[in-house]
Amino acid sequence: MPRVPRMVVTDSGQKAAYHVISRTALDGLPFGKVEKDELVRIIQKYSRIYCVEVLGFAVMGNHFHLLIEMIPDDMVSDDDVRTRFRLLYGDNTEFAEARIKEYRERFCSLSAYVKDIKQRFSCFYNKRKNRKGTLWGERFKSVIVEQGNTLIHCLAYIDLNAVRAGIVKRPEDYRWSSIGYHAQTDNRDGFLSSDFGMPDVAMDSTETQLKAYREYLYHLGAIEKRGKASIPKNILDAEAAQGFEINRARRFQYRTRYFTDSGIIGSRAFVERYYETFRDHFPASRDKIPKRVRGIEGMYSLKRLVEA
């Protein structure tokens, strides 16, 4: 069966957000502390080279998540392309001006970005473990994510991975995640975007943004989900005593599968718009209708039949 084309937004002058997930083909949890540290380092390196803004990430024992915004090629200058070329190949490599369009397209490519990350890490892992062969499983998943409420839900889902897996009680205690990176390194080198996807909340500083996001995250993480760990009530109460307020996150019903299995998620209008754009990606005789994500007001999902 031929590979289904990846859905990639090509709107001019508009950044597109994606949730990227990739899993190893190996059994168990092969990524330890050293491997996780190296994968984060590689993600940082290629996020400087490619035209992306990283909002969130989580590196787990057998997979990783990225929440990124891709910058379209019409927002990237020629000088920016040359700078990214030097970051990738070094100052001593001559830049071919005739290929500037090719380089621009590459540095704005979601597939090329993730491919470089995975290939570089595969080389590291195989050398470290003295092995050969495939490291990653099937090709990475990418879900188009709408800005706003959908984006913050997706970011929170990523940052709560370690809590739900029972690894930590507090999300920022897990250093191989975006919330851990914010809290433990104060977002060293500006690796992560300071926009936590909360457009309705007025912010006057990065510290205020981080505090508001942690409040949201703790309330969300305390909601119990069958078969998954949650933030203990006593920890939530301790955080609340330091200034947390009850907000809409308490009403949020956790629906993790929509952030990994959907083809498009967002408001009904957003989903319908991109369904029309990528209609040929949905091999069905009848039009697909956006389905409401239960427990999240105003969010809809559309799933490709070939991925069902």
- Note the pLDDT tens digit of each residue in 231-247: 899 988 887 777 543 33
Q: Cα–Cα distance between 77 and 83 in angstroms, integer?
A: 10
Residues 228 and 104 in one domain: no
The answer to whether the beta carbons of residues 22 and 105 sit under 8 Å apart is: no
The answer to whether the beta carbons of residues 307 and 282 sit under 8 Å apart is: no
Residues 130 and 151 in one domain: no
- Report if residue 274 sits inside a domain: no
The number of domains in the chain is 2
Is pLDDT of 294 > 80?
A: no
Residues 133 and 160 in one domain: no
Q: Which residue range(s) make up the domain with 102?
A: 1-144
CATH number at residue 15: 3.30.70.1290
Across the chain, mean pLDDT equals 85
Residues 38 and 137 in one domain: yes
Dihedral pair phi/psi, residue 67, rounded to 5°: -120, 110
Residues 181 and 219 in one domain: yes
- Report if residue 272 sits inside a domain: no
Residues 162 and 201 in one domain: yes
Residues 212 and 253 in one domain: yes
pLDDT in the model for residue 249: 39
- Report if residue 291 sits inside a domain: no
Task: Report the candidate in 234, 255, 228, 256 with the shortest Cα–Cα distance to residue 162.
Answer: 228
pLDDT in the model for residue 219: 86
Dihedral angle over CA of 172, 31, 254, 225, nearest 10: -100
37, 41, 157, 165 from 127: Cα distances, Å: 16, 17, 32, 29
What is the mean pLDDT of the segment spanning 198-205? 60
Residues 137 and 165 in one domain: no
For the chain, percent of residues with pLDDT exceeding 90: 51
45 falls in which pLDDT band (50, 70, 90)? Answer: very high
Residues 114 and 11 in one domain: yes
94, 177, 207, 260 from 158: Cα distances, Å: 40, 8, 21, 10
The answer to whether the beta carbons of residues 176 and 58 sit under 8 Å apart is: yes
Residues 25 and 44 in one domain: yes
Residues 109 and 228 in one domain: no
Helices 100-107 and 78-89: crossing angle, nearest 10°? 80
Statement: the pTM of the whole predicted model exceeds 0.95: no
Residues 116 and 1 in one domain: yes
* Tokens standing for residue 278: 């990528």
What is the mean pLDDT of the segment spanning 81-108? 95
